[in-house]
Amino acid sequence: MPTPRRAFAEVAHTLAGVDPNDKAAVRDFYEDRFQKYSKAAQALISDFLIGQTATPSETDLQALKKAVSRPARQIPGLFAPPIGASGQAVRKQASQRTDYLNEQLALAKAAKGRPMRKAARKRQIAAQHKEFS
Amino acid sequence: MDFVRYLPISKGDQIEVGVRLAESRAAARELCERWITQVHEPFIEGDAIRADADWDWDVEIPLLTFRIGMRRRPRMLQLYAIDGDFPLGMVALLENERWIADRRRSASFLWYLSGAPASAFEGRPVPKMITAATIDMAVTISLNGAADGRLWLHAAPEGGDRLLEWYKERGLEQVPQTTKLPGPLVGPRRNDGRYFRLTQSRARVVSARLNEYRT
């Protein structure tokens, strides 16, 4: 169940150099600086803390720091089981998404008479990913 | 949802109770504030024996609960006595966490649970089974969602063997220390042998124990 306060303090210390023995400073970190991280990074930190039942190891803390320092788009999405859906349903959804993207790509090619540029396709995929996730 | 509506007090009497559910940090703020001012600060904070004496219901728990992403369905719940609108218990959980036995399946993970101590009821009848009713909020959420009753939690080390026994008496099953747990994205979730789980069938049995207080 509970994440020990020491884990909150050590994360604040590792990510922002906050004195882990200063309760007020640790609290300020979560109230202020934590909320300035990207949503993906905040979710990653929350995920990390919810999984702790003791003071995290230095190795784990450094791994968290490294992951959080990545640009938001490079932070992988967190695991969560699909709500009310089986794995098969998720695979089907992914397959539909690929079909849709291929269809859009073909349409774009036909409209412009040239293949879509890599960057444009990346943007399109990102937009679709956002919509489906 | 079919939460507990009454709790026993002495001499066979009962008091009426209600449940508040917060699905966002903004909604949780009010619950936490009420809990802090009426129960946590006056009756829990100074009690060093309690595992929850230094829990931060103001910032850390609600903030981290609701920043994990809405796919995990974070929830905070408060059990309260309707007479006097007095908080009796608090819960923070993820309704849609991964199940221990099969990560593709949904299960509720009970993160924080705290109940009001007897000292908070000076001059008033002390409701019995507060903690059981507080856990029941989590079980009810799990039974009514995609988790279908599957629930797991970690027993605070400060509670020692007594807490392990308490969870066993409530019908929860201790997870073997050899079981690999669904970890965070960064770092492992270490199994110290203090994890408990409720399977779908056991959740129904545990829930049924409080049925007489639901209607």
Give the model's pLDDT for residue B101.
86
- The alpha-carbon gap from B195 to the nearest alpha carbon of chain A, in Å, equals 8
* pLDDT at B153 > cutoff 90: yes
- How near does any CA of chain A get to the CA of B211, in Å? 25
Top pLDDT among B124 and B19 is at B19
Give B102-164 as a DSSP string: -TTSEEEEEEEEEE--GGGGTTSPPPS-HHHHHHHHHHHHHHTSTTTT-EEEE--GGGHHHHH
pLDDT in tens, B87-119: 999 999 999 999 998 888 999 999 999 999 999
Which among A1, A30, A60 has the least Cβ separation from residue B63? Answer: A30
- A79–B contact, CB cutoff 8 A: yes
- Express as a percent the part of chain B with pLDDT over 70: 100
Q: How far does the CA of residue B18 sit from the closest CA of chain A (Å)?
A: 24
DSSP 3-state of A39: helix
Reported as a pLDDT band with limits 50, 70 and 90, residue A126 is confident
Q: Check residues B70 and B133 and name the one with the higher pLDDT.
A: B133
Query: Which pair of structure tokens corresponds to residue A76?
Result: 């992988």
Q: How far is CA B154 from CA B134, B159, B191, in A?
A: 15, 11, 9
Q: Which of B64, B91, B96, B98 to mutate to test the interface with A (most CBs of A within 10 A)?
A: B64
- Residue B186 to residue A63, Cβ atoms within 8 A: yes
Domains of chain B, start order: 6-213 (3.40.630.30)
CA distances from residue B24 to A128, B52, B63, B128 in whole angstroms, order as listed: 26, 22, 10, 30
| pLDDT given for residue A71 in this prediction | 80
The C-alpha angle with vertex B40 and arms to B28 and B141, in degrees rounded to 5, equals 40
Q: Is A67 on the interface with B (CB under 8 A)?
A: yes
B188 confidence band (pLDDT: 50, 70, 90) = confident
Q: Does A36 touch chain B (CB under 8 A)?
A: no
Q: Is the pLDDT of residue B169 over 70?
A: yes
Q: B14-50 pLDDT, tens per residue?
A: 999 999 999 999 999 999 999 999 999 999 998 988 8
Q: Does A115 score more than 60 pLDDT?
A: no
Interchain CB distance below 8 Å, B73 and A48:
no
Joined tokens for residue B7: 């709790």
Å from A27 to nearest chain B CA? 7
Q: Is 60 exceeded by the pLDDT of residue A89?
A: no
B-chain residues near A5 (CB < 8 A): 54-56, 60
Phi-psi region of B12 (alpha: psi -120 to 50; beta: other; left: phi over 0): left
Give the tens place of pLDDT for each residue, B2-13: 999 999 998 789
pLDDT band (50, 70, 90) for residue A96? low
Q: Of B205, B189, B202, B106, nearest to B154 (Cα)?
A: B189
Mean pLDDT across B138-166: 93
Question: Is A43 touching B (CB cutoff 8 A)?
Answer: yes
The three-class DSSP label of residue B175 is coil
**Confidence band of A88 (pLDDT split at 50, 70, 90):** low
Is the pLDDT score of A109 beyond 80? no
Q: Select from A89, A116, A119 the least CA-distant residue to A103.
A: A116
Question: Hey, what amino acid is at A28?
Answer: D
How many residues appear in chain B? 215
